[in-house]
Structure 1
Amino acid sequence: MNVLLPLIGAVAPTADHLDPLELFLEADIVVQLVMAGLLLASLWVWTIIISFTMRMGRLRKASRVFEDKFWDADDVDRFMSERRSKATPSARVADAGIREWRRSTGSGTAGGSTGPRDLDGTKERLSIAMNSQVAIEADALADRLNFLATVGSVAPFVGLFGTVWGIMNSFFQIGAQENSSLAVVAPGISEALFATAIGLFAAIPAVIAYNRFSHDVNRFEARLGRFADSIHAALGRQLEN
């Protein structure tokens, strides 16, 4: 039994472990500011990720429902007026085309001739009006994604700045205490490296989310573009009648 006791003590886990809160509290004030800024950035990144995911889900569903009802409507003017107060991106694209139709032809969407028309010019204005609205909707969706791109590219360097500052402070402590033992240097280096870890913690989700959401916005923009093309084709056929 006495022979086994040293072996048990050798393999027993030690009480020492990395404590993130302690690393933060013991860090230099500059490193603390870097960590706090990165944590706030990470919190805002996750807020954007959650809110954008929910928003895209709502917009896709609402646009799909609107487009189905739009093509089934017997009176498009009445249908649009009833939904103008709670417009979706698809509704605003359709509204942009219908408004340009009215300005160019002086008639409602149900038909009605006003005499000779510049068919090519009218079709071109319809295309410009709806494509411009598609671009506006895509820009509005992608607006908050710029923050994700910024955090993804800048956060690692901000964390690296905190690391460099912490290591410089550790070397200063070596000179001040005239002691280069690991016990003097290790705590400061640990705190410094923790800043880089937080920078990566903020940057990695931001990069992944930015790439994914950019793809979602592009797909949604393409969907709006196809819807605009369908409206353009339908109105173009009416112009030629």
Structure 2
Amino acid sequence: MEFAPMSPFGMFLYAGPVSKLVMALLLAAAVWTWVLIIDGVFVLRRLSKALDRVRAGGDIGVLWPIAAAAREASQAELPNETIHQKRERILQQMNRAAREFMLDAEGGLPVLAIVASAGPFVGLFGTVWGIMSSFSGIAQTQDTSLAVVAPGIADALAATAYGLAAAIPAAIGYNRMGMAFGGIKEKMSRYILTYATSIA
């Protein structure tokens, strides 16, 4: 009996069709997870630098949609509007633009949450299928030797490992990036308040 080599690729090659499908899905999810994490790190750095630059009196850079919403609101003249009301209207416009801006910036977070929560269950499906294959082999051969049960158990454990390899980075990335985006939102709220006050 030829056993699968102890490597992710080797386990994939020696797995059954269903286990291969599960592993392929989890591998794609793991790769996409890392793409989103790397992209999120760059987005966070870019936003943090932009906010620091604005606070120091520099150009607005990537924050231009929020500043544009403020300018548009400030140029609109409403009859009998007080300064306080105008400031509130500008704040509302800027906050609306900021929410849309941050939803776009946080685009990968929902995907990370899905992978983090669903990855282990997809891996568990592969685990159950591998164990079922082992029991099926026992029933067909009427033999409980290692040669009969080992392939199914190997598939089960490999699917579990693939599921964890996708879910763990996604969970860590979601939590760390979620906290980082929360800090960015606080900085942006202070910037919005200052900017709205200055142009009202």
Q: How much identity, in percent, do the aligned residues show?
A: 37
The equivalent residue for 2:48 is 60
**Structure 1 residue 222, shift from structure 2 partner:** 1.1
Q: Aligned equivalents of 2:81 and 2:26: distance in 1?
A: 60
The equivalent residue for 2:177 is 213
Q: Is the 8 A contact 1:170 1:188 kept in 2?
A: yes
Q: Is the 8 A contact 1:27 1:192 kept in 2?
A: no
**Structure 1 residue 208, shift from structure 2 partner:** 0.3
Is residue 193 of structure 2 the alignment partner of residue 229 of structure 1? yes
**Structure 1 residue 68, shift from structure 2 partner:** 2.4
Structure 1: any 5+ residue segments left out of the alignment?
A: 1-15, 71-78, 106-114, 237-241
Q: Aligned equivalents of 1:152 and 1:191: distance in 2?
A: 21
Deviations 1:27-72 (A, max 9, x none): 11001000011001100101111121122212221332234235xx
Deviations 1:60-114 (A, max 9, x none): 21332234235xxxxxxxx8xxx7xxx412x322221121111136xxxxxxxxx
TM (norm. structure 1) is: 0.75
Which structure's CA Rg is the greater one?
A: 1
The equivalent residue for 2:23 is 35
The equivalent residue for 1:181 is 145
Q: Is the 8 A contact 1:45 1:206 kept in 2?
A: yes
TM (norm. structure 2) is: 0.89
Q: Aligned equivalents of 2:84 and 2:43: distance in 1?
A: 38
Q: How many residues align?
A: 197
Secondary structure of the 1:128 match is helix
- Alignment match of 2:116 (pick from 152, 161, 176): 152
Structure 1 segments of 4+ aligned residues over 6 angstroms from their partners: none
Give 1:54's aligned amino acid: F
- Alignment match of 2:67 (pick from 63, 72, 94): 94
Q: Is the 8 A contact 1:63 1:88 kept in 2?
A: no
Q: Aligned equivalents of 1:116 and 1:210: distance in 2?
A: 47
**Structure 1 residue 195, shift from structure 2 partner:** 0.2
**Structure 1 residue 21, shift from structure 2 partner:** 2.9
The equivalent residue for 1:125 is 89
Structure with more contact order per residue of length (Cα contacts < 8 Å, sep ≥ 6) = 2
The equivalent residue for 1:6 is none
- Alignment match of 1:135 (pick from 89, 99, 102): 99
Q: Is the 8 A contact 2:138 2:149 kept in 1?
A: yes
Give 2:167's aligned amino acid: A
Structure 2: any 5+ residue segments left out of the alignment?
A: none
**Cα RMSD (Å) of the superposition?**
2.1
Give 2:24's aligned amino acid: A
Give 2:73's aligned amino acid: E
Give 1:164's aligned amino acid: V
Give 1:147's aligned amino acid: V
Secondary structure of the 2:164 match is helix
